[in-house]
Amino acid sequence: MRLGIAHHFGWAVAVTASADHRVVDRRRIELVEPGVAAAPIHHDGKHLDDTAAADLVAKVRASAARAASAELDRLAAALPEPIVSMSLRAWPPDFPEDIEVRRRVPYEARADSVMYRQVLAELAHARGWEVHLYEAKDVERQAGAVLGSRAGEVLNGPRAALGPPWTKDHRMALAATIMAG
């Protein structure tokens, strides 16, 4: 099974597909525990000093690790076969770690998003899953090129078969699983 993730602040769409690109599971997963700030740098930490912001980020990161881990465990337990890979939207490999830098333009708008992707990648590695990174703007086109004449059926067919929701996030996550294959 291959897992594709299309994440947002504090939650994500998770689509799991078989090696033949059949959707086996799709669900919303929570990436942070209830009551915890979902955007510690971009929103919630804006008026804090660097030390307090770093503490808030650490608290949110720990919450994200717990929440996402529990969600991934539930997902894996519901599948007929083990997950072998997780696909996540790519982030710059040189994205700064320093909180003071992350709080400045152009990083602050992406810092929380990168944090969630890094946590998910760490959780996948801990489970022995391969991690594949994809570019959101190109992954559907790339998957379509791989699928050829089957592209429409594979990427849009789950909406008819499974019913709503089947959104751009779902298609992108499924396309990412195809590119991981």
> How would you write the pLDDT of the chain (181 residues) with one tens digit per residue?
999 999 998 999 999 999 999 999 999 999 999 999 999 999 888 899 999 999 999 999 999 999 999 999 999 999 999 999 999 999 999 999 999 999 999 999 999 999 999 999 999 999 999 999 999 999 999 999 999 999 999 999 999 999 999 999 999 999 999 999 8
* pLDDT at residue 45 in the model: 87
This prediction has a pTM of 0.96
* pLDDT at residue 56 in the model: 97
Query: 155-167 burial, b if ≥16 CB within 10 A, otherwise e?
Result: bebbeeeeeeebe
Which residues, including other chains, have CB under 8 Å from residue 109's CB and lie 6 or more apart? 42
Q: What's phi and psi for 38, nearest 5 deg?
A: -85, -20
Compute the distance between CA of residue 97 and CA of residue 79 in angstroms, rounded to an integer: 35
Contact 18, 181 (CB under 8 A): no
